[in-house]
């Protein structure tokens, strides 16, 4: 190719065809049937790394525009081949999501440990059995609001199964004491869990908030609590030895709200961060 006429060539030029399938997994640990949606790229050559994303609150995929989003990212050669498993929340969402073994002051999250067992001991084997090609790339877990808290806690305590976590408007306020009962920041459960962990899990973190996530400002510092709580998670991670931007990415969306529309707008940035396609320039 002549000098001055360089083109960007991608490692794989075939666009994968995205296929959506629905599944029902009977969980012993959760004592219910768990509805799942798989978004699987087909038409792969078989020698590409195949990544995996687990997604809490999988009932929101239509509102997120996930299928169209993935197709667009594939067509733009933005992401590597990726299996997305959207896990639909059940009626016990407030009990299954949370910090495992540490319910909040209203005893919510009492089944979070069972949810962890479901993910590790039931969902992982099921996914590997359903997907024809080996999942040999990166593995991440993401979630929204309370589902984001759940994803963070689960990945933090099971880093041998995961490489990264994405949290959208995470419920990092999750606390063991109510505000009216003398709450302090030390009552935030996840922050204390990070500090109390002796090891430094090999993980990367993508944390998102919107500037209009909420109105609450409990310490009256003119910064909404969702941003304060997320920034404090980052501070706790920095104290563990993680570094920005290598290990931690913070994505603050101006005007972003605590809703599916906002999270759908932020999702492509997370997907490109976690599973971005590497390009090769050829002369």
Two tokens at 271?
């997907």
Query: 85: closest CA among 29, 49, 43, 129?
Result: 129
Query: 193: closest CA among 149, 163, 160, 252?
Result: 149
Question: 124: part of which helix (H) or strand (E)?
Answer: helix 124-130
Assess contact for 9 and 282: CB atoms under 8 A: yes
Q: Could you tell me which residues are beta bridge partners of residue 250?
A: 207
Two tokens at 148?
């984001």
Report CA torsion sign: 108, 113, 118, 124.
positive
**Residue 246: CA atoms inside 13 Å, Cβ hemisphere, count?**
5
Strands 17-27 and 32-42: antiparallel
pLDDT tens by residue, the chain, 283 residues: 333 333 334 444 456 679 999 999 999 999 999 999 999 988 887 778 899 999 999 999 999 999 999 999 999 999 999 999 999 999 999 999 999 999 999 999 999 999 999 999 999 999 999 998 899 999 999 999 999 999 999 999 999 999 999 999 999 999 999 988 989 999 999 999 999 999 999 999 999 999 999 998 888 899 899 999 999 999 999 999 999 999 999 999 999 999 999 999 999 999 999 999 876 544 4
Residue 228 to residue 263: CA distance in whole angstroms: 19
Assess contact for 211 and 253: CB atoms under 8 A: yes
Residue 77 to residue 229: CA distance in whole angstroms: 35
Residue 18 to residue 79: CA distance in whole angstroms: 13
Assess contact for 1 and 282: CB atoms under 8 A: yes
Phi and psi dihedrals of 111, rounded to 5?
-110, 15
């Amino acid at each position: 190719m002549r000098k001055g006429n360089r083109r960007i060539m991608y490692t794989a030029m075939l666009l994968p065809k995205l296929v959506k399938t629905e599944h029902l997994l009977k969980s012993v640990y959760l004592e219910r049937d768990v509805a799942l949606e798989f978004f699987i790229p087909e038409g792969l050559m078989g020698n590409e790394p195949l990544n995996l994303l687990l997604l809490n609150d999988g009932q929101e995929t239509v509102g997120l525009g996930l299928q169209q989003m993935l197709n667009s990212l594939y067509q733009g050669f933005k992401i590597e081949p990726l299996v997305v498993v959207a896990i639909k929340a059940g009626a016990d969402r407030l009990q299954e999501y949370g910090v495992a073994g540490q319910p909040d002051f209203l005893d919510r999250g009492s089944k979070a440990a069972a949810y962890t067992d479901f993910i590790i001991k039931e969902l992982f084997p099921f996914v590997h059995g359903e997907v024809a090609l080996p999942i040999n790339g990166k593995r991440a877990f993401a979630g929204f609001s309370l589902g984001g808290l759940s994803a963070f806690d689960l990945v933090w305590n099971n880093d041998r199964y995961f490489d990264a976590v994405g949290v959208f408007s995470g419920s990092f306020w999750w606390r063991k004491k109510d505000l009216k009962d003398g709450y302090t920041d030390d009552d935030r459960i996840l922050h204390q869990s990070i500090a109390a962990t002796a090891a430094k899990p090999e993980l990367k973190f993508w944390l998102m908030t919107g500037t209009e996530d909420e109105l609450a400002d409990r310490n009256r510092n003119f910064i909404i609590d969702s941003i304060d709580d997320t920034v404090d998670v980052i501070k706790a991670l920095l104290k563990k030895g993680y570094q920005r931007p290598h290990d931690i990415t913070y994505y603050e969306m101006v005007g972003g709200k605590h809703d599916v529309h906002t999270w759908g707008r932020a999702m492509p940035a997370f997907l490109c961060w976690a599973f971005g396609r590497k390009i090769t320039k050829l002369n």
